[in-house]
Structure 1
Amino acid sequence: MKQNKSALNEVASLLATDINMGKFLPGTWLKQIELAERYACSRNDVRRALDQLVIERLVQHVPNRGYHVYRLDEKQRNNISEIRAILESAVAKDIIENITAAEFSALEACAQLFDNHVYHGSVLQLFEANIKFHHALLKPCSNKDLIELIFDIRSRVPSAAIGQWKSHARILKSSAEHFAIVEAIRLKDAALLEARIKEHILQVEDRQGSGV
């Protein structure tokens, strides 16, 4: 049973990563035979992984047709971004009270890494650096259950690395927002940090809806 559960978790994780990276775009039908070949596993493992991702709302099951990548409309994306903004900004005080010097240095490094990739990296590197920044930002929080919930909600909106930022100007602004968040923590200003996290997630000026 442990081996089966491990295989399920691995296949589900690999497929979820591919969806979030934009390798399977919203609406794409997922063929179990092809997925079994891609992940070198059994069709049973694929089916169980797909069912797991249905629960997590990354995949949708259509009876008698199969599974496809979940497609959110703009309103749903905006709703999820608003939920994220509420939850993530709510931990601003917790971050400032608990962040260690080492964690702050790591967060600064993540902001710098993203900025470096703006000019010298690929879209994939930007995507990965952005994820690292948000993990580093929330790491000091004492309420680990809340953090798990935040990343669960975040995973419900496939990021699609290529389409996560509408323009190079949006990438530049995201980088500036990362540094602004770091500065708010340096100043130990919880209200400022809360406001900057909300601004970063909601992207009010272009309202892409997915947050970053």
Structure 2
Amino acid sequence: MNRLKRQTTSSAMTDHVMEMILHDIQTGTLTPGAWLKQIDLERRYSCGRPEVRRALDRLAQKRLVVHVPNRGYHVYQPDGRQAREVAEIRILLETGVAGHIVANARPADIETLAGLSANFDRLLQIGTTLELYEANLAFHHQLLSLCGNLELVNLVADIRQRTSSAPVQQWTTRDRVEQSSREHAQMIDALVSKDEAQLTEVIARHIRQSSP
């Protein structure tokens, strides 16, 4: 029982440290490209080395920070060219199966998507950036899975990893987050009305983060 309690306490501390690092990245206290010395983070957040290391590993998985073997961790520094090119590749792949998504979407699938969209909207009001980002991923994974091609779904997931999918890079402004929410609803409307052209247009706009 004591061991379980210690593990729970350690996990809670790791989550706390991760949120603190995320906050400092979002506010610019930890700037893009900045190296993160673990001893400095221990002092800054009043925690131990294991919690800092686990927090950095989790953030590296989310592409918030980059782990360089034998050197350490640094805050992710976005590459605008790469992000644009990856977005265009995603548009080609995801709009290319829009017809299959429309044809395969059953009422139960649409209801599932509506629930994921509602969760995104809820987190828009009360959630952390990381939670919002993960809710967005869940919606898009469910939508794309309706194409019926698992290899394509996995390929898109792999391609996303070639550029930052970090929450701090996901949306440029609060208005853009709210627009993403509206676009989720528009995608669902396109499925309900079986409108392939509308779904294609909204997906492309959503990925490019362009205005309607």
Q: Deviations over 1:80-134 (max 9, x none)?
A: 1111111111111111112232221111111111112222333222112111111
Equivalent positions of 1:78-93 (< 5 A) are 78-93=84-99
2:102 to 96, 99, 117: 96
Aligned position for 2:196: 190
Question: Offset at 1:159?
Answer: 2.5
2:53 to 38, 41, 46: 38
Equivalent positions of 1:35-184 (< 5 A) are 38-39=53-54, 71-184=77-190
Instruction: Give the residue type in structure 2 aligned to 1:74.
Output: G
Structure 1's unaligned 5+ residue stretches are: 1-17, 41-45, 207-212
Partners of 1:68 and 1:121 lie apart in 2 by 25
Partners of 1:160 and 1:181 lie apart in 2 by 23
Instruction: Give the residue type in structure 1 aligned to 2:95.
Output: S
Question: Offset at 1:32?
Answer: 9.8
Partners of 1:22 and 1:83 lie apart in 2 by 28
With the length of structure 2 as denominator, give the TM-score of the two structures: 0.66
Identity of aligned residues (%): 40
Q: Deviations over 1:29-85 (max 9, x none)?
A: 577996897249xxxxx9xxx9xx9xx9x95859x8567566442111111111111
With the length of structure 1 as denominator, give the TM-score of the two structures: 0.66
Aligned position for 1:15: none
Q: Which of structure 1's runs of 4+ aligned residues deviate more than 6 A?
A: 30-37
Instruction: Report which of the two structures shows the higher radius of gyration computed on alpha carbons.
Output: 2
Q: Deviations over 1:122-170 (max 9, x none)?
A: 3222112111111111121211111111011112222322342222211
Partners of 2:128 and 2:66 lie apart in 1 by 27
Partners of 1:69 and 1:167 lie apart in 2 by 20
Number of aligned pairs?
A: 173
Structure 2's unaligned 5+ residue stretches are: 1-17, 26-30, 40-48
Aligned position for 2:33: 27
- When residues 35 and 185 of structure 1 are mapped into structure 2, their CA distance, relative to the original with a 3 A threshold, is farther
State whether residues 33 and 75 of structure 2, in contact with CA within 8 Å, keep that contact through their aligned partners in structure 1: yes
Q: Comparing 189-198 with 29-38, which one deviates more in the overlay?
A: 29-38
- When residues 65 and 193 of structure 1 are mapped into structure 2, their CA distance, relative to the original with a 3 A threshold, is same
Instruction: Give the residue type in structure 2 aligned to 1:106.
Output: T
State whether residues 191 and 199 of structure 2, in contact with CA within 8 Å, keep that contact through their aligned partners in structure 1: yes
Q: Comparing 89-98 with 68-77, which one deviates more in the overlay?
A: 68-77
Partners of 1:173 and 1:107 lie apart in 2 by 17
If asked which structure has higher relative contact order (CA below 8 Å, sep 6+), I would say 1
Q: What is the RMSD of the two structures over their aligned residues, measured on CA atoms?
A: 3.4
